[in-house]
Each structure stands twice: as structure tokens, then as C-alpha cells.
Amino acid sequence: MKHIIRTFIILAAALVVVGVAILLSNSLGATRRRGLPTLNSADPGSALFQRGPDEARVLAGFEPNRFLGDLDRGRGSRLNWVGLSTVIRNLVVIAGIVLAVTLVGNTAKHLRRPAHSRQAKEQAGSGSGA
């Protein structure tokens, strides 16, 4: 049990570190490096946006993505939290499933053991703990 929790905490922590690094690099360097406005910084009233949202996105350095709706909005520094939180949420769901199955498996194993051997083990456990 401890291993599961520890492993998933380490994974979540690593993801948070990666996420923060991505966010920092996005907000610090992306716009300047490309020399192009992002959707967050572009003025909706500007000529860039008046050419149409898809063209504006391409010009702003985004990939055209009509089919997946506003998926590529996640590239903005603020909205990347949405993606990171999805990764962490999925990790938590998987950790929950692993924990639940391990608990059920351990309980089933415990109950399958004959009562006398269980009592002996419990007595031995309490004896060594005292």
C-alpha cells in the first residue's frame, strides 16, 4: 500500500515540476522567440483576428485545428494548467484503481486464509509488537 501511494506521489510531483517548467518557458520565452503574438496577447480587434480565427491562429504560431475545437488553446501559458490538471486527474484515477484492486485482493487473500492460521499470525504479530 505504502509503495503505491509513494510511487504515485513521486509521479505527481514530477509532473508538477514538468508542468511548472513548461509554463515558465511558455510565459517567458515563447512569444519573444517566435516574434509573433499569441492568442492570449493578440488584440481581438486587430487585423490579425479580422482575417478569421483559423488564419489568425496559424499566423500566431498555432496549428490549424478546426476539427478539435478549441484544443490548441491549451498552448497559451494560462490554459496549459487545464492540460496538466487532466494529466494529474488521470494519474489519480489510475492510482485509485490500483489502490482499490490491491485492497480488495489483500482482503480476499486474508479472508481465504484458514481462521486458525489467521489467529496464529495475529497472535504472533501482537506478541512481536509488545
Pick from 43, 47, 68, 127 the residue near other proteins by CB under 8 A. Answer: 68
Minimal distance in Å, beta carbon 47 to other proteins? 26
Pick from 86, 122, 123, 124 the residue near other proteins by CB under 8 A. Answer: 86
Is 59 near other proteins (CB under 8 A)? Answer: no
Give the whole-angstrom CA distance, residue 101 versus residue 114: 22
Give the whole-angstrom CA distance, residue 56 versus residue 42: 9
The 3-state secondary structure of 73-114, one letter per residue: HHHCCCCHHHHHHHHHHHHHHHHHHHHHHHHHHHHHHHHHCC
Contacts with other proteins, residue ranges (CB under 8 A): 3-4, 15, 19, 63-65, 67-68, 71-75, 79-80, 82-84, 86-87, 90-91, 93-98, 100-102, 104-105, 108-109
